[in-house]
Amino acid sequence: MKNKPSIKIDSHIDYLESESQPAASRYVFAYTITIHNQSDEPARLLTRHWIITDADGKVQEVHGQGVVGETPHLSPGQTFRYTSAAMIETPAGMMHGTYQMRTDSGELFEAEIPPFTLAAPRALH
């Protein structure tokens, strides 16, 4: 039996103060995701599934094809980086999810996106 393909996902988050309107419960965050193919087989990202939860427990789910209009194909050792944004109604929240991917040999698998925190400055003590 083959090992499950190893995909490592890193995130970097920035609060977009210029896009946010705290008085209107609008907090916008940019997130940059780096996807590393650490396996020995190429794989293509097919779909994404995000779960975004604000500090009040309100959950948004986002399903879609690819990321930022692309379905990147990553060779072993290759990385793909993109930036997108999320909006929540509280100054802090969390995001996590999965990417559905397919190896060149046809195996479908889910790559876990580890949870990360969305937090406006001074939102967390």
- Tens-digit pLDDT profile for residues 69-121: 999 999 999 999 999 999 999 999 999 999 999 999 999 999 999 999 999 99
Residues 6+ apart with CB under 8 A from 67: 33, 45, 48, 82, 84, 99
Residue 89 domain flag: yes
Residue 114 domain flag: yes
Residue 44 domain flag: yes
What pLDDT score was predicted for residue 53? 98
Angle at 124 between CA 34 and CA 9, to 5 degrees: 15
Query: How many angstroms separate the first and last alpha carbons of the chain?
Result: 47
What is the chain's length? 125
For residue 5, what pLDDT band results from cuts at 50, 70 and 90? confident
Q: What is the pLDDT of residues 57-68, one digit of tens each?
A: 999 999 999 999
Q: Which amino acid is at 62?
A: V
Pairwise CA distance, residues 88 & 55, whole Å: 9
Residue 1 domain flag: no
| No. of helices (H) and no. of strands (E), the chain | 0, 8
Q: Which amino acid is at 57?
A: G
Pair type for strands 92-103 and 43-54 = antiparallel
Domain count of the chain? 1
| Domain span holding position 99 | 7-119
CATH of the domain at 84: 2.60.40.1470
Residue 52 domain flag: yes
